[in-house]
Amino acid sequence: REKPLAIAGVMGGRNSEVSPSTKTILLESAYFEPMTVARTARRLNLRSEASYRFERGVDRDGQVSGILAAAELLGKVADAEPASRLIDVEPQPAAERRIQLDIGSLNSLLGAIIPSPEISRRLKSLGAKVEADTSNHLVVIPPSFRPDINEPADLAEEVARLAGLSEIPASLPQRATLTGVPNPERRFVKKLRDIMVGCGMVEAKTIAFIAPGENQRFPGFIAGKNSTPARTEPVRVVNPLSAELSEMRLSLLPGLLTALRFNLNRETNAFHSYEIGKAFTLVDGIASEFQRLATISYGDYTMGGIDQPAVKASFFTLKGLLETCLLATGMRRRVLFEPAQPEIAPYLHPGRAAQFSCDGSILGLLGELHPAEALRLELSHPCVLFEIDLANLMALSTGGMHPVQPPPRFPAVRRDLALVLDRDFPADTVVQTVSALDITLLESVELFDVYQGESIPAGKKSVALACRYRAKDRTLTDEEVNRAHSLVTEQARSRLGAELRL
């Protein structure tokens, strides 16, 4: 019955080994592919003299001469006699390696001038066959025992080595220096890093592999032209290092939260960090990657003084940082903040979560970490975070800075306006509507109070605006301000369907 004799190119078997009682020996001289032998030895964790040689490549054409030399040696040492003739089997002969060598390119690479006849002489001394194609071009066939020679650069190395590197003059090559075209994405990311550092954030770098449980807790999102962010599907690793690293991250937030817990374990009282990296998800069954910016803020954002309390990390603190970031990157369009649905961001506090978009395109998510997640991480203070899609942000940003304006010569006059509207009416819509009024003297409109309670009807709320009036060429009189403010009040009431709160 047939039995395995050996692991080809790695190790022989016990039933085929030679012992002191052996009378008959079968000689085999074979060639094995280096990659196959290396893969087998690594998979079996079995290293041998044979695998060491075969995985580095042996002479494919040297099998016949090798077996004849072994037979001759056995005859001299042990008086062995051949019992059969030589059998040579090669199912698929190796293709002849023919390397096209340009003499000018070789001399340019070496930085020396070596004549074509001298190059041919040196290569022939290696055992190579050299055919002159033209006066400046050779066709070289390397010897079979040199499998490492595969391209013109290998031939150039041999030509230089045979004569010694000392013959190559020590001079700097005369090369033209070409300036690369600036990469807009890299420039945008570099600017974003400067902005985040200027806001007091420290950059973090976390691993892209993650546990499946983390992807379930932080499912990420797919930005785009949707009313809500699209759901994601994780990319699984075929050969993971461990079960805890078996998927690619859907979001950058788990890595930042792990860094937060790491720092808190070392008595850090506050942690404010960001990461710019890639998240991965399956889109129509194809693995895709998205560039993201994620930020978390925990603890005191600014240090307190003797008479000044510290500023704590909160939803509105981080929202202000996000708006600063958007403004500094050149975002000139209106960014709309809306409540985020729990099924889209289950890791965010249900009442303190928002999704933000621009021109109907979802940019990202912002909010406070869900109490259950905060309990799991043993956090004693609120942790706020946001994640934003950089491809959409870059597409919507103009990239330009705000133009520098000289300080106004004449003072501004502030008048407040309080409007009573339905409770669900967005305050941002009120600000945008009033700001868009065609009133020449109206310089800016800011929201400073939203109130629900006594003196406000049920189902209603009061939205208070600070309206600032200014003229570029004169100081305004009370009569001018009153007239302009009356126009603002009447037009705001008619357009918004609001009542004036007295």
The CATH number for 19's domain is 3.50.40.10
pLDDT of residue 263: 94
Q: Rounded CA gap, 352 and 62, in Å?
A: 76
Q: Rounded CA gap, 472 and 443, in Å?
A: 10
Answer whether residue 131 shows pLDDT above 80: yes
Q: Rounded CA gap, 3 and 6, in Å?
A: 9
The label of the residue with tokens 């407040």 reads 416
The answer to whether residue 408 sits within a structural domain is: no
476 and 338 in a common domain? no
378 and 261 in a common domain? yes
Answer whether residue 365 shows pLDDT above 90: yes
The H or E element containing residue 133 is strand 129-134
Q: Rounded CA gap, 357 and 79, in Å?
A: 90
240 and 117 in a common domain? no
245 and 125 in a common domain? no
321 and 190 in a common domain? yes
Give the pLDDT band (50/70/90) at residue 369.
very high
The answer to whether residue 179 sits within a structural domain is: no
Answer whether residue 170 shows pLDDT above 70: yes
Neighbouring residues of 463: CB distance < 8 A, sequence distance ≥ 6: 418, 419, 420, 421, 425, 427, 430, 447, 449, 450, 498
Can you tell me the mean pLDDT for 27-33? 87
pLDDT of residue 233: 87
How wide is the angle at C-alpha 239 spanned by C-alphas 274 and 248, nearest 5°? 25
The CATH number for 196's domain is 3.30.930.10
Reference 341, options 452, 254, 226; nearest CA is 226
15 and 160 in a common domain? no
The CATH number for 432's domain is 3.30.70.380
139 and 66 in a common domain? no
Neighbouring residues of 412: CB distance < 8 A, sequence distance ≥ 6: 443, 468, 469, 470
Can you tell me the mean pLDDT for 239-246? 89
Can you tell me the mean pLDDT for 68-87? 88
Percent of the chain whose pLDDT exceeds 70:
97
pLDDT of residue 252: 95
341 and 284 in a common domain? yes
What average pLDDT does the structure give for the chain? 88
Give the pLDDT band (50/70/90) at residue 480.
very high
Question: Which strands make up the sheet holding 202-203, listed edge to edge?
Answer: 202-203, 271-283, 286-298, 383-389, 361-369, 348-358, 335-339
- 60 vs 468: which has the higher pLDDT: 468
pTM: 0.61
138 and 205 in a common domain? no
Which of 346, 365, 396 corresponds to the end of one domain?
Answer: 396
The answer to whether residue 404 sits within a structural domain is: no
The answer to whether residue 405 sits within a structural domain is: no
Reading the block at residue 48, the tokens are 């041998």
Do residues 134 and 120 touch, judged by C-beta distance below 8 A?
A: no
How wide is the angle at C-alpha 424 spanned by C-alphas 422 and 428, nearest 5°? 100
pLDDT of residue 401: 61
Do residues 274 and 196 touch, judged by C-beta distance below 8 A?
A: yes
The answer to whether residue 402 sits within a structural domain is: no
How wide is the angle at C-alpha 143 spanned by C-alphas 139 and 146, nearest 5°? 115
pLDDT of residue 396: 85
pLDDT digits (tens, 9 = 90+) for 413-422: 999 999 888 8
**For the chain, counts of helices (H) and of strands (E):** 14, 20
123 and 48 in a common domain? no
- 445 vs 332: which has the higher pLDDT: 445
The four Cα atoms 339, 345, 348, 353 give a dihedral, to 10 degrees, of: -10
443 and 384 in a common domain? no
Which of 20, 48, 78 corresponds to the end of one domain?
Answer: 78
Answer whether residue 227 shows pLDDT above 60: no
Which of 117, 136, 167 corresponds to the end of one domain?
Answer: 167
pLDDT of residue 173: 64
The answer to whether residue 421 sits within a structural domain is: yes
Reading the block at residue 386, the tokens are 């946001």
Answer whether residue 309 shows pLDDT above 80: yes
Give the pLDDT band (50/70/90) at residue 229.
low
Answer whether residue 454 shows pLDDT above 90: no
The answer to whether residue 88 sits within a structural domain is: no
Question: How many structural domains comprise the chain?
Answer: 4
pLDDT of residue 228: 59
Q: Rounded CA gap, 483 and 405, in Å?
A: 27
231 and 335 in a common domain? yes
| Residue 264 region by backbone torsions, left for phi larger than 0, else alpha for psi between -120 and 50, else beta | alpha
Answer whether residue 255 shows pLDDT above 90: yes
pLDDT of residue 347: 93
The answer to whether residue 306 sits within a structural domain is: yes
The CATH number for 158's domain is 3.30.56.10
Do residues 68 and 74 touch, judged by C-beta distance below 8 A?
A: no
- 398 vs 1: which has the higher pLDDT: 398
Angle of helix 315-328 versus helix 184-198 axis, rounded to 10: 140
Answer whether residue 167 shows pLDDT above 90: no
Answer whether residue 400 shows pLDDT above 70: no
Residue ranges making up the domain that contains 189:
184-396
